[in-house]
Amino acid sequence: MVTVDPDKRSVATSSSGTLTYDFLVVAPGVVSQWTKIPGLAESVGKPGTGVVSNYSYETVASTWEAIRSFRGGTALFTEPLTPVKCGGAPQKIMYLAEEAFRAHGMRDKSRVVFMNAKPTLFTCPYYIPAIERVIKSRGMEVQLGQELVALRPDAHEAVFREAKTGHEQTIHYDMIHVTPPMTAPGFVRSSPLANADGWVEVDKFSLQHVRYPNVFSLGDCSSLPTSKTGAAVRKQAPVMVANLLAARAGEPLVERYDGYTSCPVVTGRGKLIMAEFNYDKQPVESFPFDQREERYSMYAVKAFMLPRIYWHGMLRGRL
């Protein structure tokens, strides 16, 4: 995709020329903006820099290598101000790394800090006390409202800006896992479909575009005010399909998406908090127990059941 012109009902592609449409579904996901943070693109995944990230196929292996070979010092884990794929993932890698440091006998020599640009630890307040207990029990630190704005890889320094005051602080790191800022793809951001923040602007209940009724969007590129997860897409897709078919038939759009999303927060090997909630940030839990507790059963769902649901259910249109 190169450009989309909803007024002319056309999309220009790099390989198939310009195509016209009667209805359009926009779901290209998000892109990681590595160059938005000076010093990141040229250092992430490179030996000797201490800069790693799970958010690229090219760099993900560097994360485990850095964790496995960590010999103490300061380990930072960042979350940007922008929405990201799987809102809990930036802190999940911290829990797994901390557990590995402990297993390798390096925990007493290590400072583990979550540097979150957002003002709260987690999207849904219901689960925050449980996550705070995990962090406190394991001696990890949290700094909220601290956005990574630059890296100095040669000096192993990270610069963070406080959201409220604009004050900057520089922290020396021995390892830093960076979650890069994320946006919709460029052709979305530059099109009339986008809102002021660059996301496809749709009604949050019907998934129909607010200005172009023959356009629908779902998933990570959309403006839907919920966490960007596979679980959310699983609930969005049937609503979008039903409403698209209704629009094609000239009928009312009656299906509604309530903002359901799920964030399986892995807190260690065999431990997981299964967060499920809706637009109102109210828990919408699937199991008959308090999912705020770390449980192996929920870890098993994440590790063994969800991959099968994804590959054999969702992608095949069965779930």
Report pTM: 0.95
Whether 2 has a pLDDT exceeding 90, the answer reads no
- Cα–Cα distance for residue pair 275/298, rounded to 1 Å: 10
Catalytic residue among 188, 263, 275, 298: 263
Whether 255 has a pLDDT exceeding 70, the answer reads yes
Whether 316 has a pLDDT exceeding 90, the answer reads no
Least confident of 1-5, 205-209, 261-265: 1-5
pLDDT at residue 248, as a whole number: 98
- Cα–Cα distance for residue pair 41/24, rounded to 1 Å: 34
**Nearest Cα residue to 277 out of 229, 241, 240:** 229
Distance (Å) of CA 198 to CA 6, 29, 52, 215, 317: 15, 12, 27, 16, 29
Residue boundaries of the structural domains of the chain: 32-183
Whether 219 has a pLDDT exceeding 70, the answer reads yes
Per-residue pLDDT tens over the stretch 42-72: 999 999 999 999 999 999 999 999 999 999 9
Decide if 124 is catalytic. no
Say which CATH architecture domain 32-183 belongs to: 3-Layer(bba) Sandwich (3.50)
Whether 35 has a pLDDT exceeding 80, the answer reads yes
Decide if 86 is catalytic. yes
Catalytic residue among 44, 52, 86, 275: 86
Whether 317 has a pLDDT exceeding 90, the answer reads no
Whether 207 has a pLDDT exceeding 90, the answer reads yes
C-beta separation of 159 from 2 below 8 A: no
pLDDT at residue 1, as a whole number: 63
